[in-house]
Amino acid sequence: MTPDQMRDASLLELFSLEADAQTQVLSAGLLALERNPTQADQLEACMRAAHSLKGAARIVGVDAGVSVAHVMEDCLVSAQEGRLYLQPEHIDALLQGTDLLMRIATPGNEVGPADIEAYVALMERLLDPTQPTAMLAPKPEPEPAPAPIVEALPEPEPAPPVSSEAPRQNKRMTEGGERVLRVTAERLNSLLDLSSKSLVETQRLKPYLASMQRLKRIQSNGLRALDALDGQLKALDLNLEAQEALADTRRLLSEAQALLAEKNAELDEFGWQAGQRAQVLYDTALACRMRPFADVLAGQARMVRDLGRSLGKQVRLEIEGEKTQVDRDVLEKLEAPLTHLLRNAVDHGIETPEQRVLAGKPAEGLIRLRASHQAGLLVLELSDDGNGVDLERLRGSIVDRHLSPVETALRLSEEELLTFLFLPGFSLRDKVTEVSGRGVGLDAVQHMVRQLRGAVVLEQTAGQGSRFHLEVPLTLSVVRSLVVEVGEEAYAFPLAHIERMCDLAPDDIVQLEGRQHFWHEGRHVGLVAASQLLQRPAGQNPSDTLKVVVIRERDAVYGIAVERFIGERTLVVLPLDDRLGKVQDISAGALLDDGSVVLIVDVEDMLRSVDKLLNTGRLERIARRSQQATEAPRKRVLVVDDSLTVRELQRKLLLNRGYEVAVAVDGMDGWNALRSEDFDLLITDIDMPRMDGIELVTLLRRDSRLQSLPVMVVSYKDREEDRRRGLDAGADYYLAKASFHDDALLDAVVELIGGARA
């Protein structure tokens, strides 16, 4: 299951429910603190509520909630520690933050970045002892800065040519007051390659560290067993030599345990430090390839100005995010799609001044282009306040071009209608001009964006304008992929080409015209074995369902059957050796966290291979698997966390991977569950009411029945001393929620207890 699928409406709804409950705790507690600002129980309750909301917001990706809850928590912790005495203005600000958190968590409420920034700035001012505190009062909004008008943008001066001569390669220059060195792109690529491999190498320490922790626990159990044996042998009245031998054995085991603990701690610290440094090295190397988004805008601004004038239209271009950093290779490939979209907005979207005035709009049209970073992607939004798309005219054009029967066209939704605009050769222009009607436009945009492993979506409101939403990777050096197993080898499908992943039951597969198909979104989709395409031996899949990756390239959709879904990974692309030439169906390679090699699939090439197999009639049939007579029992996991959102997210992830899951709301609840039921793994938070995670793990390790149970700690605390504290208490694995994602959790579970079936 992908992160986007996990952050669905149901999870956000749970976050809303948790926010509703926690904001009630905050409101009641803050009103009590207004009467008596030093009530320890109310301070603790409010701090824990803010802390839980911060964690829940981080898990579901609501960054605004994280920012607001974080500054509120800082204020309450300062009050708890006596560094701050809550004044009326502090209570007012905390109540305002409570209301803001509820607005953020309620669907449909618009909370802009400016609101969040203003609130964070207010809290920071109130927490700064050098600044005079001020009562909350509405401030006049600053005058909006004039948007950049394309006519006022000067032409950029041409950049000096970069010589390829080696002696000039490291020539020193100054830019913005900083010294700049010229380095060839090849050397930067090599540096990024080496840093990515260094990052992968540090990941290989994780399973070794986990093994060392298990060894430490086994030896501790051995020492306790020796103590028990000593107690039994004392009743036998052993001779002096036997007693001395037993004492020597205990002493040696104790010394070995102390040395193992010391070296284990050193290795753990080395692994953590190495991972941190490798990440910084990789981030720095990647930053060397980045350029501001403004680098691609100079020609576009002039083009919009000239095209608007030639069409007799008044157009203003507003640009946000000019300093957003993007890989230079991505910038180069974005220029053509942006040109298409901007020309489309001026020509198709913006009306003439006369038409706009009659429609009650300003005579001047507005095109807004915004660039931002989001979850490792460059997000571009290009919108205009023009006339939008005439859906009925579009529907008629679809019928006239025989792309759909009348009956079907009448039932098409707005989203379905708009997808026709991306078909090759499709245009709503009745005649060809220098600007439009040649059938080259949105299909070219979609093709170029897909080449960047990205996606483009069109939304519109009739009479009010259109909006294109583009998402592309920040760098082509990294690709987010689904890693699968085919013929006992790992392969990666770029997520940009994946429609969905699904499990097909035998009855879902049908035979049509001698080929296998399954039903997907109202159409039959052809089913092909990845093992045949990639020329791998068919692997054994013990499951009674077939794992299928649905891939799409333009209007071509196929289901590719694989043996196993390994999971989503962010892969650093390693180009294949030029001496290999073009490898069929493969675009590049990469390294997984354990250092093993994975090949990245060239989806366009693979679809051509599918067509070739279909045309030659050599497509092999995929054998249906019969239901297994008996199923192995599923392994059980206990999740202990006081946050409803965190518990539910972990429960869903583990259930979807096939584990049986029970939950507990705090350490005491978890301890009672552990003593009354059998589990294969404990996953626990640290900061919880009644009994925290450290106490829970300590009790578990002292219990003869539970002391060998694997334990994973999942906590917001990611300092080395916090990790050491959790591991020293007896945890086998420590995962920080700050870097939490589904792959990390599931990989750790598999590492500790294996797959879901016993």
Tokens read off for 162? 């970069």
Mean pLDDT across the chain, nearest whole number? 79
Which two structure tokens, joined as six digits, stand for 573? 């692309």
Nearest partner of 501 among 456, 455, 551, 540, judged by Cα: 551
Handedness of CA 659, 662, 667, 672 (dihedral sign): negative
pLDDT of residue 67: 92
Other Cβ atoms less than 10 A from the Cβ of 411: the count is 8
pLDDT-derived band at 377 (thresholds 50, 70, 90) equals confident
Would you say residue 134 has pLDDT above 60?
no
Taking CA atoms, 416 is separated from 382, 428, 551, in Å, by 20, 16, 19
CA distances from 340 to 112, 273, 346 (A): 30, 47, 10
Domain ranges of the chain: 3-127, 201-291, 297-429+439-473, 478-616, 636-753
**275-308 per-position pLDDT tens digit:** 888 888 877 887 787 888 887 776 676 678 778 8
pLDDT tier for residue 671 given thresholds of 50, 70 and 90? very high
Helix (H) or strand (E) segment spanning residue 663: strand 660-664
Structure tokens at 111: 């909370």
Distance, in Å, from the CA atom of 535 to the CA atom of 557, rounded to the nearest integer, reads 21
Q: Which of 31-45, 209-223, 463-477, 619-633 has the lowest mean pLDDT?
A: 619-633
How would you class 291 by CB atoms within 10 Å of its CB: exposed for 0-12, middle for 13-18, buried for 19 or more? Answer: middle
CA 372 – CA 101 distance, rounded (Å): 23
- Contact call for residues 384 and 367 (beta carbons, < 8 A): yes
For the chain, the farthest-separated pair of C-alpha atoms sits apart, in whole angstroms, at 112
Q: Between residues 740 and 389, which one has the greater pLDDT?
A: 389
The DSSP annotation for 497-527 comes to: GEEEEEEE-GGG-EEETTEEEEEETTEEEEE
Of 68-82, 101-115, 186-200, least confident by mean pLDDT is 186-200
Q: Tell which CATH architecture fits domain 3-127.
A: Up-down Bundle (1.20)
Please report the pLDDT score of residue 542 as a whole number: 57
Between CA 456 and CA 470 the distance in angstroms is: 4
State mean pLDDT over 667-695: 91
384 exposure class (CB count in 10 Å sphere: 0-12, 13-18, 19+): buried
pLDDT at 168: 36
Contacts of 251 (CB under 8 A, 6+ apart): none
Distance (Å, rounded) from C-alpha 227 to C-alpha 222?
9
Residue 156's pLDDT band, with cuts at 50, 70 and 90, is very low
**CA atoms of 327 and 472, how far apart (whole Å):** 11
* Mean pLDDT within 697-711: 89
733: enclosing H helix or E strand: strand 733-736
Q: CATH topology for 636-753?
A: Rossmann fold (3.40.50)
Average pLDDT over residues 172-179: 52
Identical topology for domains 297-429+439-473 and 636-753:
no
Q: 12-34 burial string, b = 16+ CB within 10 Å, else e?
A: bebbbebbeebbebbbebbebbb
Q: Which of 193, 151, 366 is nearest to 285 (CA)?
A: 193
Residue closest to 101 by CA, chosen among 513, 165, 93, 517:
93
Assign 157 a pLDDT band (cuts: 50, 70, 90). Answer: very low
Contact yes or no for 170/184 (Cβ under 8 A): no
Which of 27-31, 146-150, 243-247 has the lowest average pLDDT? 146-150
- Return d(Cα 50, Cα 65) in angstroms, integer: 10
Confidence of residue 639 (pLDDT cuts 50, 70, 90): very high
pLDDT at 218 over 90: no
pLDDT score of 696 more than 90: yes
List the structure tokens of 94: 């905390």
126 contact partners, CB below 8 Å, separation of at least 6 = 75, 89, 90, 93, 133
Topology, domain 297-429+439-473: Heat Shock Protein 90 (3.30.565)
Beta strands in 521-618 (DSSP E): 523-529, 546-553, 556-562, 564-572, 586-591, 597-601
Angle, alpha carbons 593-595-597 (nearest 5°): 105
Give dist(CA 631, CA 573) in Å, integer: 39
What average pLDDT does this structure show over 295-323?
A: 81
Q: Cβ distance 369 to 382 under 8 Å?
A: yes
599 strand-pairing partners: 491, 589
- With tokens 């036997």, the residue in question is 242
Q: pLDDT tier at 141 (50, 70, 90 boundaries)?
A: very low
Outline where DSSP puts E strands in 178-242. Answer: 178-181
Return the exposure string of 664-691: e unless at least 16 CB atoms fall within 10 Å of the residue's CB, then b: bbbbbbbbebbeeeebbbbbbbbbbeeb
Minimum mean pLDDT range among 168-172, 187-191, 280-284, 578-582: 168-172
Structure confidence by residue, pLDDT tens digits, 420-435: 888 776 766 554 444 5
End-to-end CA distance of the chain: 22
Confirm or reject CATH 2.40.50.180 for domain 478-616, answering yes or no. Answer: yes
SS3 at position 623: coil
**Phi then psi dihedrals of residue 299, to 5 deg:** -70, -30
Give me the phi and psi of 318, to 5 degrees please.
Answer: -105, 135
Q: How far apart are CA 166 and CA 155, in angstroms?
A: 32
Q: In angstroms, what is the C-alpha Rg of the chain?
A: 31
Buried b (16+ CB within 10 A) or exposed e, 127-164: beeeeeeeeeeeeeeeeeeeebebeebeeeeeeeeeee
Q: What is the DSSP letter of 597?
A: E
Contact 384, 345 (CB under 8 A): yes
Bridge partners of 557?
Answer: 552
**How far is Cα 176 from Cα 160, in angstroms, rounded to an integer?**
16
Q: Beta strand pairing status for 489-494 and 711-715?
A: unpaired
Nearest-10 crossing angle of helices 63-80, 88-105? 150
Q: What is the pLDDT of residues 474-491, one digit of tens each?
A: 777 777 789 999 988 899
